[in-house]
Amino acid sequence: MADRIILINKPLRWTSFDVIKKIRKPLLEERKKEFPVEERSKIKNYKVGHAGTLDPLATGLLVVCTGSLTKKINEIQDAEKEYTGTLVLGATTPSFDLETSPMNFLPYDAVTEEIIYRTASSMCGIQMQTPPVHSAKKVEGVRAYEKARKGEDFVLEPRKVTIKAFEITGIRLPEVDFRVVCTKGTYIRSLAYDFGAKLGTGAYLSALCRTRIGDYLLKDALNPEDFLFQLFDKQNIN
């Protein structure tokens, strides 16, 4: 088995690490078959990593690298990304998505489609974005979401990101569907929050799917179970 790049469609509520944990051992077993039988017991590990974490409530493309190709992880993470998703107007959540409950309810009946399209256009370009407090960003060596869940006070520094496209693909108020093309490090949850702030209605992310990283496409990805089925089928043939 040559080292390779595997495209996985991450299921809802799985962490990115859940995917790696699911496929690492089968990949190791496949790797062992390249060696003589008497040497296989000595092979204890095989490098498997992913390029770009997805939140548990997000689905879509997770690029997995194996063996020597794990050296390409940083390069892949730096590539342009594309997402589709849905945000809900009229409230916010502490996590900017449905990990926490909606609050701060506001009316949205004065928001027209024209206003929504105009506001979406204003979101494009270079901007300073503050990560959500419920994120994996580290603060003093601790994940921000761990501090947030304990009720600790802390400040996350804004970072520069570029929103290359923010396209509205459907409106069913209070829900708004969108497509985003952006640079590395962009938090789509924060983008949804900022969008709601500009509208004056508040907003939170209710669904998110990553459809592209650089030249890698979701349409070419397999869910973990289908990938393992193909892997086991290949092993049985061999």
Give Cβ neighbours of residue 93 (< 8 Å, ≥ 6 apart). Answer: 99, 100, 101, 102, 103, 204
Beta-bridge partner residues of 185: none
Distance in angstroms (rounded) separating the CA atoms of residues 176 and 172: 6
Active-site positions read 55
Answer yes or no: are the C-beta atoms of 5 and 65 closer than 8 Å: yes
Residue 49, Ramachandran bin (φ over 0: left; ψ between -120 and 50: alpha; else beta) = beta
**Which structure tokens are listed for 41?**
């017991």
Answer yes or no: are the C-beta atoms of 48 and 4 closer than 8 Å: no
